[in-house]
Amino acid sequence: NMFRLETNVGESHVLTSVSHLLWLTERVSLHKVTQTQDSRGQLQTTYNNLTKHRDQLQASYNTLSKERDQLQTRYNILTKERDQLQTHYNTLTKERDQLRTRYNTLTKERDQLQTNYNILTKDRDQLQTERDFVNQICWQKFDSSLYFLSTETKTWEESREDCLERGADLVIIDSSTEQTFLFNLNLKAWIGLTDSVTEGTWKWVDGTTLTTGYWGAGQPDDSGQEDCVEIYYGQDDPVKTWNDDKCGTNNNWICEKVYDPPPHKYLSPFPSLTLLKDLNSLC
């Protein structure tokens, strides 16, 4: 019985030890489970935080990528605009240089033209002075008029144009003394009388109607549309020397203008008819 009691006591002690060991094991397991659960919770929290942070980073990345793309687009546009502006600038620079070259060329041409103009003006003034001098030689004075006697022949219209260019007109004969003076010049020449506007109505070049005529015998006869008048020196009577002739006939002519004494030094006595004919090359 003593042995059995000891055996029971030993078994009881073993059981107690086993129970304690199991309790300890359970406690350790529970502790480990608790630690594991705590660790998992911490890991889950960390995971969640990392996931949230990742998502924030992804959103920031996407935003930055979008901004980068927008900036790249704007950069490309600005680069293109810069290149276009550079092209325009180069074009304008080239055009400016061309305009400057043309300006310099035109300035040079203008200066040359101004020089030529000054030379021509000087030559013109010199020729005008010489012409004034020659006119004093080529014109004859009678009463209050000057008379130019041509040394070449032209039609009536051409003769009048020449007179107008000289500041005169074909001669208008107002008196028998003037008629006699012109007759004594020994010319067959056009005078400023015509009936080309109205047949049979003779008018002077100033528009006045003829009142006193110095017609030759049988004139005017209008033989073949003879509408212009010439003075013909080959007559016996100096106041009967007019003849109507075709206006297209080439004749000498006589211009008349009012005598206005020139103030310059070339004014000189009018030459004789002989001297005048010697100066044909000037007149």
Is 56 inside a domain boundary? no
Q: Which range has the worst mean pLDDT, 5-14, 144-153, 181-190?
A: 5-14
pLDDT of residue 10: 63
Residues 115 and 148 placed together within one structural domain of the fold: no
Residues whose CB falls within 8 Å of the CB of residue 250, separated by 6 or more in sequence, listed in order: 153, 154, 155
- Per-residue pLDDT at 8: 62
Whether residue 46 lies inside any domain: the answer is no
C-alpha to C-alpha distance for 138 and 157, rounded to whole angstroms: 21
Q: Between vectors from CA 198 to CA 195 and to CA 201, what angle results, nearest 5°?
A: 60
Contacts by residues 151-155 (CB-CB < 8 Å, ≥ 24 positions apart): 151/252, 151/277, 151/280, 151/283, 152/252, 153/250, 153/251, 153/252, 154/250, 154/251, 154/253, 155/247, 155/248, 155/249, 155/250
Distance CA 221, CA 216 (A): 10
Same structural domain, 150 and 259: yes
> 110 lies in a domain?
yes
Q: Which among 138, 158, 173 is the end of a domain?
A: 138
Mark whether 177 and 121 lie in a shared domain: no
Are 252 and 189 in a shared domain?
yes
Query: Residue 139 in contact with residue 147, Cβ under 8 Å?
Result: yes
My answer on whether omega of the bond before 269 falls inside 30° of 0, hence cis, is no
Q: Tell me, yes or no, whether 195 lies in a domain.
A: yes
Tokens coding 24 = 């300890």
Amino acid at 240: K
Which of 135-149, 152-166, 238-252, 266-280 is least confident? 266-280
pLDDT at residue 282 in the model:
53
Please count the other Cβ atoms lying within 10 Å of the Cβ belonging to residue 94.
10
How long, in residues, is the chain? 283
Residues 148 and 218 occupy one common structural domain: yes
* 66-70, 136-140, 242-246, 271-275: least confidently modelled range: 271-275
- Rounded to two decimals, the pTM is 0.50
Would 130 be classed as within a structural domain? Answer: yes
CATH of the domain at 216: 3.10.100.10
Statement to judge: residues 77 and 94 lie in one domain: yes
Domain residues for the domain of 93 are 68-138
**pLDDT value of residue 150:** 93
pLDDT of residue 59: 93
Q: What is the mean pLDDT of residues 42-69?
A: 92
State residue 6's pLDDT score: 60
Q: Are 271 and 133 in contact (CB under 8 A)?
A: no
Is the CB of residue 194 less than 8 Å from the CB of residue 202? yes
pLDDT of residue 15: 74
- Structural domains in the chain (count): 2
Assess whether 93 and 207 both reside in one domain. Answer: no
Residues 161 and 238 in one domain: yes
Q: Which of 260, 239, 231 is nearest to 168 (CA)?
A: 260
Q: Quick check: is 273 in a domain?
A: no
Inter-residue contact 260 to 236 (CB < 8 Å): no
Distance, first Cα to last Cα, the chain: 191
Residues 170 and 254 placed together within one structural domain of the fold: yes
For 145-159, 198-212, 217-231, which range has the lowest pLDDT when averaged over its residues? 217-231
